[in-house]
Amino acid sequence: MSGERAGAARDGGGAASSVPLGSAPAMIVPAIDVRNVTVHYGDVLALDNVSLSLAPGRIYGLIGMNGSGKSTLFKTITGMLRPDRGTVALAGQQPALARKAGAVGYVPQSEDVDWAFPLSVRDVVMMGRYGHMGISRRPKAADKAAVAAALARVELTDLADRQIGQLSGGQKKRAFVARGIAQGATILLLDEPFAGVDKRSEGTITTLLRELAAEGATVLVSTHDLNALPKLADEAILLMRTVLLQSTPAEVLKPENLARAFGLDVTAGDAA
């Protein structure tokens, strides 16, 4: 990862001035730099001139209604979608290069995963290493060690040989976070990680994400759980096809701000 950082520093500088809150030093290159991105699905406008600048080492909560473009934003960052207009830079690099280097880790929404798929927890975590492997993706000692370390990190070592669907809701999320850790991802995207997860597991995952952020990872979490936002995130992003507000969770959670994204009669807590 250090190589990417070095590469990132070269063409950095100017972009960093847009880092919000002034908390990050001015020379730090944003980990995710989205500029004027517009995405259409056919005639439907999904993202309208979105600009975001996310600093390394911080957790960002992404909130917005269903259809506000959260998934579209994730797809644009993971490379599933090409924006019609605008640019994305990841870890200061062309997005394709950053992805190839393994910078982007992704934790899918529960409903997007086939939990009956015949893979063990270890198999899933090993998929994080594929970008570092040869053509047939045969794991080497270093890959196995990285997977073992990632499993230990998320405390799933004992369950590593279970079929992936035989984990609890929280354990499933941790398995996918472990995949990102084994990958060496510096950018971690989590799509609704707390849906169907009990409060205790939510706490465990939050602690894990805070540790990863403290080590320099940039974490972007889309969530409906507004109550948990202040504990989880350093900053919150309010999305409604465009970025309405990027600020502290406390500021974003003010009723008058939420009303802009969710409609007037919605109070914090059950905005989903």
Partner 1 sequence: MNPLDFLLEPLSYDFMVRALATSVTAAIVCAVLSCWLVLVGWSLMGDAVSHAVLPGVVLAYVVGAPFAVGAVIFGFLAVALIGIVRNTSRIKEDAAIGIVFTTLFALGIVLISITPSQTDLNHIIFGNLLGVSWADLAQVLILGAITLTILLVKRRDFTLYAFDATHAHAIGLNPKVLGAALLGLLALTAVVALQAVGVVLVVALLIIPGATAYLLTDRFSRMLVIAPAMSALAAVTGLYLSYYLDTASGGMIVLVEGCIFALVYLFSPTQGVIGKRLGARKRQRMLAAQ
**Of 131, 169, 203, 230, which lies in the binding site for partner 1, with binding defined by CB under 8 A?**
131
User: Token match 């590469």: residue?
Assistant: 7
Residues 6+ apart with CB under 8 A from 214: 57
Q: Which is nearer to partner 1, 124 or 258 (CB)?
A: 124
Alpha-helical runs (H) found in 86-160: 95-100, 121-126, 141-153
> Given the rule CB under 8 A, which of 117-125, 207-215, 239-247, 260-268 is the region that contacts partner 1?
117-125
Give the x/- contact pattern for partner 1 in 10-49, rule: CB under 8 A.
----------------------------------------
Q: Which is nearer to partner 1, 34 or 104 (CB)?
A: 104
The tokens for 126 are 């090993």
Cα(105)–Cα(126) distance, integer angstroms: 13
Q: Which is nearer to partner 1, 127 or 244 (CB)?
A: 127
Query: By the 8 A CB rule, do 224 and 192 touch?
Result: yes
Kindly report the backbone phi and psi dihedral angles of residue 157, in degrees, each rounded to the nearest multiple of 5, phi listed first: -55, -45
**Of 3, 22, 44, 112, which lies in the binding site for partner 1, with binding defined by CB under 8 A?**
112
Q: Which is nearer to partner 1, 3 or 14 (CB)?
A: 3
Binding residues for partner 1 restricted to 204-263, rule: CB under 8 A? none
> Given the rule CB under 8 A, which of 43-51, 93-101, 149-157, 167-175 is the region that contacts partner 1?
93-101
Cα(249)–Cα(238) distance, integer angstroms: 10
